[in-house]
Amino acid sequence: MLLVGCQPPHPAGQLVVAGKSNLASVDPVDITTLAGTQLLSAIGDPLYKAGADGQIRPHLATALPRLSADGRTARIPLRRDVRFHDGTRFDAAAMVFSLERFRALAKMSYLLDNRIRAVRASGPYELELQLKRPYTALAALLSSVSLSALSPTAYQNHTQRSLTDRFVGTGPYRLVRSTAQKQTLLPFKQYWGPAPRNRGIHLVSLSNSTALFGALISGEVDVLLSTGIESDQQRALARRAERGQLVEGSGPPGEIGYLTLLSNRPPLDQPLLRRAIALSLNRPLISERVSYGIRAPLRSLVPPPLAGSEPPPWPTYNPTQARRLFQQAGYCGSRPLKLPLTFRSNVPADKLFALTWKAQLERDLADCLQLEISGMESTTAYRQLEKGAFPAILLDWTGDYPDPDIYLTPMLGCSTVRGDQCLAGNAAAAGSFWSAPGLEAELQASESLAGAPRRTLLQRIQRRAAAGAAYIPVWQVAPRAWAQPHLRPPVFDGGGQLSLQALSVR
Amino acid sequence: MSRRSHLLRYAASRLALVPLMLWLIASLVFLLLRVAPGDPIDALLGIRAPQEARAALRQQLGLDQPLLVQYGRYLGDLLHGQLGDSLNNGEAVSSVIGHSLPASLELGLTALLLAAVLGLTVGFSGIARPEGRLDLAGRLYGIGTYALPPFWAAMVVQLVFAVWLGWLPVGGRFPATLVPPSGSGFYLLDSLLNRSPEQFWGALRHLVLPACTLGLLLSGVFANALRLNLRRALDSDYVEAARSRGLSERRVVLRHALPNALLPVLTITGITVASLIGGALLIEVTYSWPGVAFRLQEAISQRDYPVVQGIVVVVAALVVAVSVLVDLLVAVLDPRVRF
């Protein structure tokens, strides 16, 4: 009883925010997880930031990139009133240092390497980027929190290796303590922007959904992030929010779930069959059964509201038309198509998807399509994608920054195309081996377009991908958060990060 | 040859085997990790990175080298006491173990203490009336706690005491809003040395649920072991002889039967300690306890080869050391043991 009575109160104005993943390092060059980017969004500042409306706005930059006539040089003016957490001044040289360090050390250095040839300071507060080819989504790319500015002074001894437990950037919070399970953030008093509305954040990780759920219900934590929370517990939290026992907020969907079909081997080398499979998927039913509708049905490879996502080009569920196509391909009746479907055994929603879709097909199209489902651990499955090991597999994808390109190119990009087959490139590595004549050129052309022409071209690319049906989008996942009722509802930025500085008592 | 010489020879022969065992374990874990499907690049980058980026990272981490070269480098580092660096963040594996091992030991030793007290009390309680109600309850307790699935028991305890009643924390090792005590990594000890009641209560509150759950699960083994061995001892000739000399039953039990019955319990304790050095995986995962088993599980899922190899080798060395120690202790204490 003594122990029970000694629960330490939270320091005034400081909040405890819980999520699932441990954090092995706070260095942007090491970070590849959502938990890492969530932390970086509070302690770091990128050049640009996506607002809640999805618009990219200058952050450490003062204007959008000014592109040269050939679109291969971008100049970016920078703020002059910014200081790092160690007190040193932010300038163009510091930004060059940060970007070069990322290119040299980061596990995700390909984000820049694919696009940028060189970085230099063209003035004390002006950055110049040489691009490999014109890229109109440059500002969106530079909104990735992994590209936050770092203090050259603090990182001078860490140009060849990462600094795992310290972070010295320019963000609204400074990191005062960090372990794999817990990070403590305090407001940075010299921050150039609006001050945080709270007096500090303790980010903690717990290892399972039940523990996280229980920690919020028992009042042990103030705010809970949805990553890693099981669907039934998310629904229970949403219901509590409806009853006023919690407050809830959600962000733009960044994660998509999709089926990849192996298009270069029988029987799925027949586009007709792939289209029939696409028509056989009852997304609303599956979404409801698997996640109570939390994983919203998706018929586009690009999640809304990003450009090119509307109108969704993949067909809705149509068993009659699906049956007709299966019959045209020589299936149905006494000869159903037996399709092996692999799901990632360590992702609970994937298994539920496989079981639900299998049951739905047994009910609606049992004589045309039968699933043979099997689970495989995700890391093992990823290794075998490029070997064409899976006739059908459910995967997910989260864009590193809010732009259609980061969703389409990794799935549809292809360096060597023969007919409708991708022999080498992203589509081969993604396990579909599908491409189409001229598709790669259209993808590259979309990178240099902006506004309505780009949107039109992206819609065309998506229509072609839908006709090829080597990928079938299934659902999209929006980040959510729940907070204790005495707090303001959690808000997210356009990059899908919870705004920690906006968390406060009502 | 004197008993002492025999004992020294026995100890020397056991210790001589240690390097061979460690080499076998180190080689086996190296090989198994490479044979297992999946690799660190996939675990780190998922399916997002282009082929060139994957190749570059493979080269950066030294995974593009032939297997024999990697093995040679690994053994060479081991011989120099180097466990390598994590592929995930470059942190030294010795540091990873240095942070997580005290957490596992603190949990394991506390649980062992609870298990011993609880188990031995239950095991001893039914001895006055064999096959009586108390004895039967003790037997059921022993079987029941041994048969409980650890993850299920941990989740029930967590739900009842942390979520529904809200008495104790759901998980973690220390309150989020406090600064953990610095020092040995044993938070209870460190907070006492720092003379910080706030830190001590914080650490203790977080320790209660996982330690009690683990202690409860382990106590059945102690209860059954003591009960069986005590019964056997009480039926033996030397106890009969003691009784026939007119000694009181209390004296017979405490002075003659109990010490002999405790010798097998000592062996069980040794085995339990050895197994707890590697952490209690399900307990650590359920309670988000940042111990060595929790870290090993993370490293396996990330295919972080050096961390997995380092943890396995260090834990194996400690397990071997404890096993040898317990064997020697039993040999010293029990004159009947031949070696």
- Residues A369-387 as b/e (b if ≥16 CB within 10 A, e otherwise) read bebebeebebbbbbbbbbe
Tell me the pLDDT tens digit for each residue of B188-228: 999 999 999 999 999 999 999 999 999 999 898 888 888 88
Strand partners, A424: A416
Cβ–Cβ gap B49/A108 under 8 Å? yes
Query: What CA dihedral angle connects A339, A345, A347 and A351, to 10 degrees?
Result: 40
Q: What is the CATH number of the domain that holds A245?
A: 3.40.190.10
Q: How many residues does chain B have?
A: 339
Cβ–Cβ gap A113/B53 under 8 Å? yes
Residues A91 and A177 in one domain: no
Is some CB atom of chain A closer than 8 A to the CB atom of B166? Answer: yes
B98 CB neighbours in chain A (<8 A) are none
Tell me the pLDDT tens digit for each residue of A394-426: 999 998 899 999 999 999 999 999 989 999 999
**Residue B148 and residue A274: Cα distance in Å, rounded?**
48
Residues A220 and A276 in one domain: no
pLDDT at A1: 47
In a 10 Å sphere around its CB, with 0-12 CB exposed, 13-18 middle and 19+ buried, how is residue A187 labelled? middle
**Residue A266 and residue A288: Cα distance in Å, rounded?**
32
Q: Which residue has the higher pLDDT, B302 or B208?
A: B208
**Residue B71 and residue B79: Cα distance in Å, rounded?**
12
Residues A32 and A58 in one domain: no
Strand partners, A417: A422
Helix (H, G, I), strand (E, B) or coil at A135: coil
Q: State which amino acid sits at residue B252.
A: V
pLDDT at A317: 97
**Distance, in angstroms, between B1 CA and closest chain A CA?**
56
Q: Which two tokens stand for residue B42?
A: 């996939």
Q: Which of A342, A321, A462, A260 is nearest to A329 (CA)?
A: A321
The CA–CA distances, whole Å, from A416 to A301, A338, A426, A428, A433 equal 22, 31, 10, 10, 10
Please give the angle made by the CA atoms of B9, B13 and B16, to the nearest 5 degrees: 135
Share of chain B above pLDDT 70, in %: 96
Q: Which residue has the higher pLDDT, A56 or B275?
A: A56
Residue-by-residue DSSP string for A302-331:
S-TTSTT-SS--SPPP-HHHHHHHHHHTT-
Which range among A444-448, B14-18, B181-185 shows the weakest confidence by mean pLDDT? Answer: B14-18
Instruction: Report whether pLDDT(B151) > 90.
Output: no
Residues A146 and A176 in one domain: no
Residues A215 and A92 in one domain: no
pLDDT at B279: 63
pLDDT at A16: 95
Give the residue numbers spanning the domain of A332.
255-477
Which one of A117, A145, A162 terminates a domain? A162
A155 CB neighbours in chain B (<8 A) are none
Residues A293 and A221 in one domain: no
> What is the pLDDT confidence band of residue B338, given thresholds at 50, 70 and 90?
low
Q: Which of A256, A286, A173 is nearest to A473 (CA)?
A: A256
Instruction: Report whether pLDDT(B117) > 80.
Output: yes
Which one of A102, A127, A162 terminates a domain? A162
- Best probe of the B interface among A207, A216, A221, A440, by most B CBs < 10 A, is A207
Interface of A with B in 359-388 (CB under 8 A): 377-380, 382-385
Query: Which of the residues in chain A have pLDDT under 70?
Result: 1-10
Report the residue from B43, B168, B202 with minimal CB separation from A379: B43
Residues A442 and A489 in one domain: no
Residues A488 and A436 in one domain: no
Cβ–Cβ gap B170/A218 under 8 Å? yes
pLDDT at A120: 97
pLDDT at B10: 80
Instruction: Report whether pLDDT(B48) > 80.
Output: no
| Domains contained in chain A, number | 3
- Best probe of the A interface among B45, B91, B170, by most A CBs < 10 A, is B170
Is some CB atom of chain A closer than 8 A to the CB atom of B160? Answer: no
Q: ipTM greater than 0.90, yes or no?
A: no
B48 CB neighbours in chain A (<8 A) are 108, 397, 400, 410
Is some CB atom of chain B closer than 8 A to the CB atom of A16? Answer: yes
On whether the CB atoms of residues B314 and B101 are closer than 8 A, the answer is yes
Residues A128 and A271 in one domain: no
Tell me the pLDDT tens digit for each residue of A287-302: 999 999 999 999 999 9
In a 10 Å sphere around its CB, with 0-12 CB exposed, 13-18 middle and 19+ buried, how is residue B246 labelled? exposed
A179 CB neighbours in chain B (<8 A) are 99, 180, 290
pLDDT at A9: 60
pLDDT at B231: 85
Q: Which residues, 6 or more positions from A100, have their beta carbon under 8 angstroms from its beta carbon?
A: A119
Q: Which two tokens stand for residue B329?
A: 């202790």
**Distance, in angstroms, between A440 CA and closest chain B CA?**
15
Instruction: Report whether pLDDT(B334) > 90.
Output: no
Residues A115 and A54 in one domain: yes
Tell me the pLDDT tens digit for each residue of B234-272: 888 888 888 888 888 888 888 888 888 888 888 888 878
Which one of A140, A162, A184 terminates a domain? A162
How large is the average pLDDT for residues B27-44? 85
Residue-by-residue DSSP string for B131-159:
TSHHHHHHHHHHHHHHHS-HHHHHHHHII
Residues A187 and A330 in one domain: no
Which range has highest mean pLDDT (A95-99, B291-295, B309-313)? A95-99
Residue A287 exposure: Cα atoms within 13 Å on the Cβ side: 20
Q: Which two tokens stand for residue B66?
A: 């032939």
> What is the pLDDT confidence band of residue B42, given thresholds at 50, 70 and 90?
confident
Is some CB atom of chain A closer than 8 A to the CB atom of B167? Answer: yes
pLDDT at A416: 92
On whether the CB atoms of residues A199 and B277 are closer than 8 A, the answer is no
Residues A299 and A264 in one domain: yes
Could you identify the residue written with the tokens 């936050």? A148
pTM for this predicted structure: 0.86
Q: What is the CATH number of the domain that holds A441?
A: 3.10.105.10
